């Protein structure tokens, strides 16, 4: 099932499947967020979404998180 990153609840495991532009895609790829499961940690009051992968947490702005399409994944790595 796909959704926008901004709509994912905290503590949910996801995979980023579509990023809106090449610059954002390149940044997320360099951070290692595009090649596996990512945990949605929390939503910050201003609308940013914090995601974590391999111990690194990154806050993505609300407008970017709204445009990123994700697929939910279980803890075992299987997509739901």
Domain range annotation of the chain: 2-73
* Domain 2-73, classified CATH 3.40.50.300, yes or no: no
Name residue, tokens 């702005």: 61
Taking only the tens place, the pLDDT of each residue in 54-68 is 988 999 999 999 999
Q: What is the DSSP letter of 8?
A: P
Average pLDDT over residues 6-34: 93
pTM: 0.84
pLDDT at residue number 39: 96
More reliable by pLDDT, 6 or 1: 6
Taking only the tens place, the pLDDT of each residue in 29-50 is 999 999 899 999 998 887 899 9
Taking only the tens place, the pLDDT of each residue in 64-80 is 999 999 998 865 545 54
Residue 34 and residue 28 in contact, taking contact as beta carbons nearer than 8 Å: yes
């Amino acid at each position: 099932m796909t959704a926008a990153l901004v709509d994912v609840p905290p503590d949910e495991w996801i995979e980023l499947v579509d990023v809106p532009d090449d610059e954002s895609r390149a940044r997320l790829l360099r951070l290692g967020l595009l090649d596996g499961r990512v945990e949605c940690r929390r939503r910050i009051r201003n609308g940013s979404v914090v995601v974590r992968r391999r111990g690194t947490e990154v806050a993505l702005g609300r407008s970017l998180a709204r445009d990123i399409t994700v697929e939910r994944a279980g803890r075992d790595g299987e997509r739901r």
